[in-house]
Amino acid sequence: AQSVTQLGSHVSVSEGALVLLRCNYSSSVPPYLFWYVQYPNQGLQLLLKYTTGATLVKGINGFEAEFKKSETSFHLTKPSAHMSDAAEYFCAVSEGSGTYKYIFGTGTRLKVLA
């Protein structure tokens, strides 16, 4: 069975500071990993994904994440936070083959302080 744990339901950073949102996963098979963002009253949008190949993946809006198999982690980072980054972020896992089930973490709400 797959699962995702996001550490910290709320994270606050100052504008211009580093953003780090943590995600650990559990999967019995090679995983596909994702970060999604949700703005108020909207559905989720894909930020970035890891399937195979390079373990450092870059996404939209300057975000990136690194797949670390030994640590079963897929943390999301951005060097410099912008006010528009304030949103809720979800980490998700899916099996690399077979089922298309996507399992989401409980989310981390990012607040950016001026």
Partner 1 sequence: DAGVIQSPRHEVTEMGQEVTLRCKPISGHDYLFWYRQTMMRGLELLIYFNNNVPIDDSGMPEDRFSAKMPNASFSTLKIQPSEPRDSAVYFCAIDGRQGIRTGELFFGEGSRLTVL
Q: Closest by alpha carbon to 92, among 108, 76, 104?
A: 104
Spatial CA neighbour of 48 closest among 70, 97, 10, 37: 37
Q: Which is nearer to partner 1, 15 or 39 (CB)?
A: 39
User: For partner 1, which is the closer residue by CB, 86 or 102?
Assistant: 102
Q: Verify binding: residue 107, partner 1, rule CB under 8 A.
A: yes
DSSP symbols for 11-25: EEEETTS-EEEEEEE
Pairing between strand 108-113 and 10-14? parallel
Measured from the CB atom, the residue of 13 and 92 that comes closer to partner 1 is 92
Binding track over 8-47 against partner 1, x by CB under 8 A: ------------------------x-x-x----xxxxxx-
Is 108 an interacting residue with respect to partner 1 (CB under 8 A)? no
Q: How many helices (H) and strands (E) does the chain have?
A: 0, 11
| CB of residue 73 to partner 1, shortest distance in Å | 19
Nearer to partner 1 among residue 19 and residue 33 (C-beta): 33
Backbone phi, then psi, for 83, in 5-degree steps?
Answer: -55, -35
Residue ranges that bind partner 1, judged by CB under 8 A:
32, 34, 36, 41-46, 49, 51, 90, 94, 99-107
